[in-house]
Amino acid sequence: MPLPKAELHLHIEGTLEPELAFALAGRNGIVLPYADAEELRHKYRFKDLQSFLDLYYELMAVLRTEEDFTDLAEAYLAHAAAQGVRHAEIFFDPQAHRARGVPMGTVVAGLARALDRAPERHGVTTRLIMCFLRDESAESASETLAAAAPYLRHITGVGLDSAEVGHPPSKFREVYEEAARLGLRRVAHAGEEGPPAYVREALDVLGVERIDHGLRSMEDPELVARLVRDRVPLTVCPLSNVRLRTVDVLSDHPLRTMLEAGLMATVNSDDPAYFGGYAEDNVRAVADALRLTEEQLRELARNSFLASFLDDDEDLRSAYLAEVDAYVF
Ligand code: ADE
Ligand code: ZN
């Protein structure tokens, strides 16, 4: 059994395996421009974030009904449970679905059906985080938050994703202020391809509690000192960083340096269907490449629960931490 862990950086649309994409396409009468799942998988070679996003948005065309979103989440939860995930905080991209005529209610109801039964079926607790697409306008983000009003009981927080460079966090100041007023938790992708200044803006302007990726913070020692002092969690995604070429090879990944600097890093899978592995696959790969110690692996697992939004259920957090402490390698 793998080390128990929380997954805090996971795009549900990025869990769409080629086989499921073809099954959903068939069910919905959509013809994909690929012969089969194998041919599609061969397209999973990316030169940067944008080249991945192009395929990621294209394949979303197969997600149309509530049932599609339930099946997608169900498949992820089964994978996650097998990899030791006990708690998952799951991103979704409603603007990408609304643009195709799939309403917010369809997406949330479909996901919620799988998430609500996940503790019983898979032994996994969950939270849902709605992301704004940063390459869309600030007005579109505000409209999206307004459209989510009837569904906020299912939604714990907001995030910010998609093409980073040229779309600084400050563009979304107002919608994050509104999210805070609504009692939503706040996270944002920053420092994946964008500069350390975007990490500072996410903290100072958006008031985020966690940084997704945050890798390029390592270029700015003062920022690192601040992140260490304030115990700001970074949701690091090692296989994603290599596949999207922000890191050349896994053995060059800064995760070990980050832990040694005292940063509160966690390991996550980002878009596992596209990047070659789920949560434990990421842990194993980066642990082997960087020769992480058992104590560092335990620290990563502890961090994942400490950084989670389980605050409304402290007993559960304590129980998960006790499982990590009792784990025998
Ligand atoms: N959307 C899905 N995966 C993403 C990533 N790694 N960065 C930005 N946006 C994303
Ligand atoms: Zn991401």
Q: In ligand 1, which atom is closest to the CA atom of 164?
A: 8
192 by DSSP, 3-state: which? coil
Whether the Cβ atoms of residue 49 and residue 241 lie closer than 8 Å to each other: no
Average pLDDT over the chain reads 98
- Assess if residue 25 is contained within a domain: no
Cβ neighbours of residue 212 under 8 Å, at least 6 residues apart? 9, 159, 161, 187, 188, 189, 190, 192, 234, 235
Is 222 assigned a catalytic role? no
- State how many domains the chain has: 1
Complete edge-to-edge strand list for the sheet that includes strand 210-213? 5-11, 85-92, 125-133, 157-161, 185-190, 210-213, 233-236, 264-267
What spacing in Å lies between the alpha carbon of 326 and ligand 2's midpoint? Answer: 30
Q: Is the pLDDT of residue 163 over 90?
A: yes
Tell me whether residue 26 is in a domain. no
Q: Is the pLDDT of residue 38 over 90?
A: yes
> What does the pLDDT average to over 66-82?
99
Contacts of 6 (CB under 8 A, 6+ apart): 85, 86, 87, 88, 89, 266, 304, 305, 307, 308, 310, 320
Centre of ligand 1 from the C-alpha of residue 58, in Å:
14
Of ligand 1's listed atoms, the one at least distance from the Cα of 244 is: 6
Residue 312 has pLDDT above 90, yes or no: no
Question: Which residues are near ligand 2, the ion (C-beta closer than 5 Å)?
Answer: 270
Instruction: Supply the CATH number for residue 263's domain.
Output: 3.20.20.140
Rounded to whole angstroms, how far apart are CA atoms 175 and 68? 29
* Per-residue confidence (pLDDT) for residue 213, from 0 to 100: 99
d(CA 179, CA 248): 36
Residue 226 lies in a domain: yes
SS3 160: strand
Minimal CA–CA distance to 28: which of 78, 75, 74, 69? 69
- Range in 28-32, 150-154, 310-314 the model is least confident about: 310-314
Which of 12, 15, 44, 49 to mutate for ligand 1's pocket (most ligand atoms within 8 Å of CB)? 49
DSSP letter (8 states) at residue 77 = H
pLDDT band of 326, cuts 50, 70, 90: very high
Q: Is the residue at 46 inside a domain?
A: no
Where does the pLDDT of residue 135 fall: very low under 50, low under 70, confident under 90, or very high at 90 and above?
A: very high
Return the ligand number nearest the Cα of 55: 1
Instruction: Give the mean model confidence (pLDDT) for residues 228-243.
Output: 98
pLDDT, mean of residues 62-86 = 98
First to last CA, the chain: 9
Residue 223 structural domain: 5-16+65-321
Q: Name 225's Cβ contacts closer than 8 Å, sequence gap at least 6.
A: none
Mean pLDDT of 295-319: 97
- Is 42 inside any structural domain? no
Q: How far does residue 55's CA lie from ligand 2's centre (Å)?
A: 15
Is residue 41 scored above 90 in pLDDT?
yes
Residue type, 183: G
On whether residue 70 sits in a domain, the answer given is yes
pLDDT digits (tens, 9 = 90+) for 247-302: 999 999 999 999 999 999 999 999 999 999 999 999 999 999 999 999 999 999 99
Ligand 2 mean position to 322 CA, how many Å? Answer: 28
Catalytic entry in 89, 136, 164, 192: 192
Task: Among 7, 9, 10, 11, name the best residue to mutate to test ligand 1's pocket (greatest count of ligand atoms within 8 A of Cβ).
Answer: 11
What confidence category does residue 146 fall into, taking pLDDT thresholds of 50, 70 and 90?
Answer: very high
Per-residue pLDDT reduced to its tens digit, 180-208: 999 999 999 999 999 999 999 999 999 99
- C-alpha span between 171 and 114 (Å, rounded): 33
Ligand 1: which of 90, 131, 133, 189 to mutate, judged by most atoms within 8 Å of the beta carbon? 189
Ligand located closest to 10 CA = 2
Instruction: List pocket residues of ligand 1, CB cut-off 6 Å.
Output: 11, 14, 49, 56, 161-162, 189, 192, 240, 270-271
23 in a domain, yes or no?
no
- Residues of the chain with pLDDT > 70, as a percent, come to 100
Residue 325's pLDDT is 98
Whether residue 24 is contained in a domain is answered as: no
Backbone angles phi, psi at 254, to 5 degrees: -80, 5
- pLDDT score at 66: 98
Helical ranges in the chain per DSSP H: 18-27, 37-41, 49-59, 66-82, 94-98, 104-116, 118-122, 138-147, 173-181, 196-204, 221-229, 238-243, 255-260, 272-275, 279-290, 294-306, 314-326
Predicted local distance difference test score (pLDDT) of residue 141: 99
**C-beta neighbour count of 62 within 10 angstroms:** 20
Using 50, 70 and 90 to split pLDDT, how confident is the model at 231? very high
